[in-house]
Every structure is written in C-alpha cells, then in structure tokens.
Amino acid sequence: MSDLTASVLETKNGFHVDGYEKISYDFTFLDGVFDTKNRQLAECYHKWGRVLAVTDMNVYNMYGEQIEKYFEHYNLELKVHKTKIGEKAKTIPTFLSIVDSMTEFGIYRKEPVLVVGGGLVTDVAGFACAAYRRNTNFIRVPTTVIGLIDASVSIKVAVNYGNYKNRLGAYHAPTHTFLDFTFLRSLPKAQIRNGFAELIKISSCSHLPTFDLLDKYCEKLIDTGFGRTDGASDEVRDAADKINREGIHEMLKLETPNLHEIGLDRVIAYGHTWSPLHELVPETPLRHGHAISIDMAYSATLANSRKLLSDEEHQRILTLFSRAGLSMDHHQFDEDILDKGTQAILKTRDGKLRAAVPNPLGSCTFLNDIDHAELSAALRRHKEIMRGYPRNGEGLEAFVDASDTGYTDNNQTEIEALEAAAEEAGNLNGSMDGTNVVHGGHVMNGHANGVNGHVHGLNGQLIEEKLANGTKGLTNGLTNGVNGFTNGAKA
C-alpha cells in the first residue's frame, strides 16, 4: 500500500511540486498457506467476499483442488485465470489476457488480485495490476525458489519485449506476500537448482555466512527441496530455513532503500549485467538461474583477473556453481553477445557499466573503468578455465521446458495466426494505406508491431476472423482494425 504526501510551492515562473510516497507491505512465513487451518490469506478477502486468482497451469493442476476447497471453506467465491507463462510467453498478449480477466471479473481498484506461481507469473500478473486503472492491488503467493527468494522481494513487475528481458514494466508493490516453502516439496529438481543461483548471488556479494551454508549443504539442499521433501534431516531443514530467511532479509535490506532503483549501483545486480540479453539468445531460452550463473561466473573471473578476488575465492565460487549443476558458460555466450549485452546495459545504467563483482567474497564492488579489450580477454580466459570443469562449464537442465509452465505452446498459435492473416491482408512489412492495411513491422512476442504495436487497419476484422477460425487467437482478442485490439470481445 502507498500514501503520497506532497506540497506545492509557487515559483516566479510557475509551481514546484515535492511528493513523498510511503510504501508499506508485509511478508508472512506460513507453511500451508492453503491449509484450511490457516485463515490468514482468507482474511485478506473477507471484505470482498470473492477472489480473482491468477496462476499457471502447472500450479493449478497440482494445487487447484486444494485452492478451491480452501476458499470454499471460507465461503469466498473463486475465479481462476489459468495461464502458461515461460520466458517467451512473458509478453504483452499474456499480460492483456490477464487484464481482460480482470475486466470480466469486475475488479475494484483496491480489491487485491491473488497471484500464485513462480517469478514469471508474479511478474506478468503484477504488471497487469500496475497498469489496470494505473494501480490495482495484488497479493503474492510465490511457489518456486526464485519466486520465494528473489521475485517476492522486489516490487518490480514486467514483461519481456523483443530480445530483452523485462523491457516493459513498472514498480508496483503487493499488499502482502505469503512465503510457503512447502511448495518446494513438489518442485522439480531443475527448478530447485534454478533458484539456488539467486542465493549464491546475494550471499557471495553481501552475506558470507549464507554462502558458507550453501557451500556446506549444496547437494543436500537441492536433493531435498531445501529440506522440505520426505526423509530430509532436521539439520538440512534448519540450515535451509536459516538460508532462506537470511537471504530474503539481506535482499530486503539492500532493496528497500532503493525500491525504484534511483540508485543504479545495486549489489543484487551481480549476475545481471550481461544475462538480460544472453538468457534469451538460445532458441530455447536458458533458465534464469543458469543465465545469471554464467554472468556471475564470468564476472568472478573478471574480478580475479583484476586481483579483486583471490584465486582461492574464485575457485570456491566456481566449484559451488559446478556442484549445484549450474551453468558457468555457454557456447553462444561469445564476444559478440558480450559486446551487445554491454551496450544494452550501459543504456539501462545511464552510461556506466556498474558491474557488481565480489570483492572479497561476501562483499561487493562495482566496475566501471573497463573496456572492450579487457572484457574480451577475461571471457577468453574464462572459457579456457571452463575446460577444466564438467561439460566445459555448461549446466544440467539449463534450458526451459514444460516445468517452466510450457511456454512453447502458449503463444505460438497467436504468432502464426497473426502472420498468416497479415500476409493475406497486405504486406507484412509494407506501408500500404487502404482497406487491407497492416502498418509496417514484424511479428514479435506474439503480436504484430506497427504504429500502435498491434495489427491495425480498416480490414482488421480479417485478422480477427482468422484468429477465431481454427486457432486459439489472442486469448481475448488483440485485433479490431481501429485501435489494435477488441476491448473485451473475444477473437
């Protein structure tokens, strides 16, 4: 929730406004958030008597019945928007499908949408809430390690655009986040490993005791879902609980003074200098944890080359990545991608690299005085070092698959339908004006980029008919010739 305090001063030539926004939100550790014995979540909805939940198909297939029984127990009407969100479907069409469900539900501005899922789901649904009437409340229940440890801490919400992660987004805090680590009992090992990277990130640059625990219990943490699976020892569970709580607390301490990223030197951006680009370079994207692990491992080699990180610390970090099965390199992470990633991040960080690196292990410094030649030399050295590790430093189960909510079939029919309809209506990349107009652009992220970012023209109905005829189309329709989407009408 937020409150804005502002003052207006008259100046010689006009007015000056000072505004200060109070942002407050809560985190509750609660194993069994959908257990009917735990009424905390239900109490957030008693005022409204109903719940609009957004979740992904994997979570719903596993927990949907329990979620429905939970809200039925508390006499709360439940509507569920089920989606499939992976990195290549973390897009505007997915965002709009959630928005349309909010419209159909008749959500009130302060009525919180319930978002249940991993970081991808909370990112896209959170962005929908940020955009809907410019500010609609939401409550998060993350279900993955990344969701619990990383995405739940930030107030950033976004979708991908083009070949870049999180290019369109907002800063929008949830009213409440419930942290239920029992979800990790059913999480595939590949996803546990994926989230493990985020804990290495925060601990290696800011909290050495947590890094020590990760180093000590690495394989056991991954094998037991952070101590939540049957047969896990009390020792491992206690260590996991300490790691999770201290990791989240450290992230909050670092992020809270800089929620809107006014300051661009960010410790938790370790691993996020080059990964925003190279994560999406492979045809099947890298899992986020593997992408940032490549970035972190390379950055550690860069720091070691500068004598900021000792040989012993450097080897310790790389060994932990390897033991966890996380990627430290990828054949497509080459000098060209390194340079493109550098140019992209310089724009994001106002012309400075601000590359976070451990110095020493457990602390952080930022690199700015570094040129292309040094970056390339460090990459060549890093790849040579990787020859001494299993798989030349490539990770286990490094690429997204169905456990990432099946992105592959979420948007493909929409893309194909738009392409086919656009070709029939006119020149996909042309600039014709008339009855069959598709203003220049190409299909990307599941919609056609043109003047308004959507297919439009007097004959937009043709595309609408194509979408309705034998394909899913955009979930709630994006095309209607005039403004590029059918305000609530389904294609």
Alpha-carbon distance 142 to 446, whole Å?
26
Which residue blocks in 224-334 are alpha helix, DSSP H? 234-255, 275-278, 288-305, 311-324
* Whole-number average pLDDT of the chain: 84
Alpha-carbon distance 305 to 271, whole Å?
17
**123: pLDDT strictly greater than 70:** yes
Averaged pLDDT for residues 90-114:
96
Count CA within 13 A, CB hemisphere, residue 341.
Answer: 25
Count CA within 13 A, CB hemisphere, residue 95.
Answer: 26
124 CB neighbour count, 10 Å cutoff: 29
Alpha-carbon distance 93 to 78, whole Å?
24
pLDDT digits (tens, 9 = 90+) for 135-158: 999 999 999 999 898 888 889 999
3-state secondary structure of 109: coil
| Closest to 288 (Cα-Cα) out of 409, 375, 205, 166 | 166
Give whichever of 20-24, 336-340, 485-489 has the largest mean pLDDT: 336-340
Query: Which pLDDT belongs to residue 415?
Result: 40
Can you give the pTM of this predicted structure? 0.77
pLDDT digits (tens, 9 = 90+) for 169-222: 999 999 999 999 999 999 999 999 999 999 999 999 999 999 999 999 999 999
What does the DSSP assignment read for 16-85?
Answer: EEEEEEEE--EEEE-TTTTSTT--HHHHTTTTTTEEEEEEEHHHHHHHHHHHHHHHHHTT-EEEEEEE--
| Closest to 103 (Cα-Cα) out of 129, 121, 73, 123 | 129
**365: pLDDT strictly greater than 80:** yes
Averaged pLDDT for residues 421-449:
37
pLDDT digits (tens, 9 = 90+) for 366-405: 999 999 999 999 999 999 999 999 999 999 999 988 666 4
pLDDT digits (tens, 9 = 90+) for 217-275: 999 999 999 999 999 999 999 999 999 999 999 999 998 888 888 899 999 999 999 99
71 in Cβ contact with 42 (< 8 Å): yes
Residues 6+ apart with CB under 8 A from 12: none
Report in angstroms the alpha-carbon separations of 407 from 63, 94, 97, 285, 319.
20, 11, 15, 10, 31
Query: Which pLDDT belongs to residue 446?
Result: 36
Alpha-carbon distance 326 to 214, whole Å?
13
Query: Which pLDDT belongs to residue 5?
Result: 83
